[in-house]
A = this chain, B = another copy of it.
């Protein structure tokens, strides 16, 4: 693959596991403002007002929180074929499924760090019912429902016990490019920020100090303005959602953020205002532990939970 061109178009959807499905659903609808589009045994399918696909979040009842799987949509049917071949060659493929609500045949695979993937191309574009339709016909849904009104799924941050291995997989098999890494005093990678587009980060790996495979750090949802992140914080407070990190600015990627925990225990981010990277071959930036410890953006220090908490907890 040539630099900067991935067979993957974008993160298509994520399945989130929750031991408290009723409260989690209330969070994603009333607080984040997503819309329920369907439910089947054990799962509810949700979308942001700006998702072009029918759904982007599958909320599944389980005995613990965590990431069920991550769905990646390819650029084309041919890109899907190429990707499946690479997954199989890498010994990471699991096999095909017929599809799921909202998308067609998908090939299942596993990352080195034990996260489940589904790669697919065929998808169902959303046809909003009348009461949910925007007056502008290039909008996928109306604005103005309750809650923060997130637009779409944005990125995912996976905990990893071997960041370098997960990053190599993301680059060589999935075709992501890496824009930033962080390292500890011994030069070991503690974080990798990769992307398949001009967005500065889409698939992120951070070191899991507990040594457990397959944990989720957080799932992030996009809003269009920093004001909407501030408003989301007001709404989090008024809905008794636990805020882990109040709105501020990242250094890596420059994203403006709000972090909290949904009732099932998964960490969720509301984000916007990243620096898009039009440069096709930017120099890899390496961040030292000292730089990361010195605080981000405007000096914000990460809380202790940031380094160690993931789901399953």
Contacts and interface: CB of A to CB of B under 8 A. Distances in A.
A75 interface: yes
Interface string A1-20: 01111000110000000000
A136 interface: yes
16 contacts: A2-B79, A31-B144, A52-B282, A74-B280, A134-B237, A135-B237, A138-B180, A144-B234, A145-B146, A197-B198, A225-B227, A227-B228, A236-B298, A237-B299, A247-B247, A248-B248
Contact of A238 (B73, B78, B135, B279): B135
Q: Is the interface of A mostly helix, strand, loop or mixed?
A: loop
B236 A3 contact: no
State the oligomeric state as a number of copies. Answer: 4
Contacts of A237: 134-136, 297-299
A160 to B, nearest CB: 22
A231 B280 contact: no
Contact of A240 (B135, B226, B234): B135
B226 A144 contact: no
Interface string A296-313: 011110000000000000
Contacts of A234: 143-144, 249, 298
Interface of A: 2-5, 9-10, 30-31, 50, 52-53, 73-76, 78-79, 125, 133-139, 142-148, 152, 180, 197-199, 224-228, 230-231, 233-240, 243, 246-249, 251-252, 254, 256, 273, 275-276, 278-283, 285, 297-300
A198 B285 CA distance: 23
A269 to B, nearest CB: 14
Contacts of A283: 125
A230 B152 CA distance: 19
Nearest to A283: B125
Contacts of A298: 233-234, 236-237, 243, 246-247
A278 B155 CA distance: 12
Nearest to A230: B226
